[in-house]
Structure 1
Amino acid sequence: MEPDVLISVKNLTRLYGKNKLAVKVLDVKDLEIRRGEFIALTGPSGCGKTTLLNLLGALDRPSGGDITFEGKKIFGRGEVSLCRFRREKIGFIFQAYHLIPTLSALKNVMAPAFPLGSGYKRRAMELLRQVGLAGKEGRRPDDLSGGEQQRVAIARALLLEPDLILADEPTGNLDSVNGRGIMDLLKKLNQRGKTVLVATHDQRLAEDCGRVIRLADGSIEEH
């Protein structure tokens, strides 16, 4: 494996159901993601984009095949080790934001560090400033616009300096202006050295990425 390859995928499959009723929703023979890439993952609804992201981020387990991260297999380890891997190596940005409604923007950003103790407040404040939310640290999600909530989610994903950012339709619930702003922010993160993989339906947004991977019926059609 080349030194700059962050993730390598071999014969990755994911089936839902059992026995004769099992349906193969993902079948990726070979894929490499290099450190520092900005990749768009495209394809119609139901093609397997979210499934692939969940597997790369160890939120789900494959039915077959291997995923290696920095040369080491992700799976085949215990759940405690997987939790540590997700916390330290992966930053997740979800379409539905998944903010905790009873917490302020600041505490939502700090949430990944709760098991680690105090000491992350200053970094969380700085991240909110970087995403344009200085002065809104104390607001709860209901008091923020959709675009602002997504920026809180991005700040949260960056808190622990992950190697890989996985964004699942991060502009799907936003208007075109806010969607463009989120993509510009992801591009800036990539320019700072972050590896970013973003699933999107919007071909115009995908064209701004350095590389496009298209999924069709669970398989890579082109990349």
Structure 2
Amino acid sequence: MVGPDVLIAVKNLTKVYGKGNLAVKALDVKNLEIRRGELVALTGPSGCSKTTLLNLLGALDSPTTGDILFEGKRFALKSEASLCSFRRKKIGFIFQSYHLIPTLSVLKNVLTPALPLGKGYRRHALELLELVGLAGKEDRRPGMLSGGEQQRVAIARALLLEPEVILADEPTGNLDSFTGAGIMDLLKKLNQRGKTVLVATHDQQVAKDCGRNIRMIDGRIN
């Protein structure tokens, strides 16, 4: 049983790749709780399975063993269709490489999460572009933007369906320190507006900007 302030809880979570003698345990997390409204840094060196954990928490992958609970309900009890709906409505993903569609305008990139749900999000998308500092650039293609601007588009896209949780995987990893600081300021602003934010990073300055640090070593929480 988890407390009412706990949004995500992990119990005895493992992820194993391969079988038999070739099996590799990439992740082994006994207990982890993320509370509503937290800004958490998931730190550790490259290869320590930060991304693996984020993918499991965001229902992009399935654990080998263990439980993940969101608002007290187990992922394992959901069908694939339910998981897809859960990801769209509850989780906003921000990736290091942005994953924008180069042939679409900035506005259409922001609107992509709404495609399975129908129309009616254009005004909200424009409001989000203003929030992230890109007002007036909605008709540009991603290739016309700087790296920091592309990451801001990705953040606006992640916010379109008003998710409760933002999972950011090395959101400043491809950016210079000045631009990265701007992205972190934006994530802190979102946290202050009530979003729960989990940031995977190896950048110590990013970690310092977060309210709590969780350090991973060799797939385990240290």
TM-score by length of 2: 0.99
Count of aligned pairs: 221
1:136-147 correspondence to structure 2 within 5 Å: 136-147=137-148
Shift of 1:74: 1.2
Q: Counterparts of 2:76 and 2:126 in 1: how far apart (Å)?
A: 34
Shift of 1:75: 2.1
Match in the other structure for 1:57: 58
Q: Secondary structure at the match of 2:76?
A: coil
Identity level (%):
76
1:53-132 correspondence to structure 2 within 5 Å: 53-132=54-133
Match in the other structure for 2:14: 13
| Residue type of the alignment partner of 1:80 | A
2:203 maps to 1:202: yes
Match in the other structure for 1:162: 163
Q: Counterparts of 1:88 and 1:73 in 2: how far apart (Å)?
A: 16
Match in the other structure for 1:22: 23
Q: Structure 1 runs of 4+ off > 3 angstroms?
A: none
Q: Secondary structure at the match of 1:75?
A: helix
Q: Counterparts of 1:29 and 1:190 in 2: how far apart (Å)?
A: 26
Shift of 1:135: 0.7
Shift of 1:79: 1.0
String of CA shifts for 1:130-150, please: whole Å, max 9, x gaps: 100001000111111100000
Q: Counterparts of 1:77 and 1:90 in 2: how far apart (Å)?
A: 15
Q: Counterparts of 1:75 and 1:108 in 2: how far apart (Å)?
A: 31
Q: Counterparts of 2:136 and 2:167 in 1: how far apart (Å)?
A: 27
Q: Secondary structure at the match of 2:157?
A: helix
Q: Counterparts of 1:204 and 1:175 in 2: how far apart (Å)?
A: 12
2:172 maps to 1:171: yes
Q: Secondary structure at the match of 1:172?
A: coil
Q: Secondary structure at the match of 1:125?
A: helix
Q: Secondary structure at the match of 1:135?
A: coil
Structure 2, unaligned runs of 5 or more: none
Q: Secondary structure at the match of 2:98?
A: coil
Q: Counterparts of 1:45 and 1:76 in 2: how far apart (Å)?
A: 32
Shift of 1:76: 3.1
Q: Counterparts of 1:204 and 1:142 in 2: how far apart (Å)?
A: 28
String of CA shifts for 1:88-137, please: whole Å, max 9, x gaps: 00000000000011110000000000111110000000000110000100
Match in the other structure for 1:149: 150
Q: Counterparts of 2:99 and 2:217 in 1: how far apart (Å)?
A: 27
Match in the other structure for 1:42: 43
TM-score by length of 1: 0.98
Q: Counterparts of 1:150 and 1:75 in 2: how far apart (Å)?
A: 32
Shift of 1:73: 0.4
Q: Counterparts of 1:146 and 1:177 in 2: how far apart (Å)?
A: 12
Shift of 1:19: 1.5
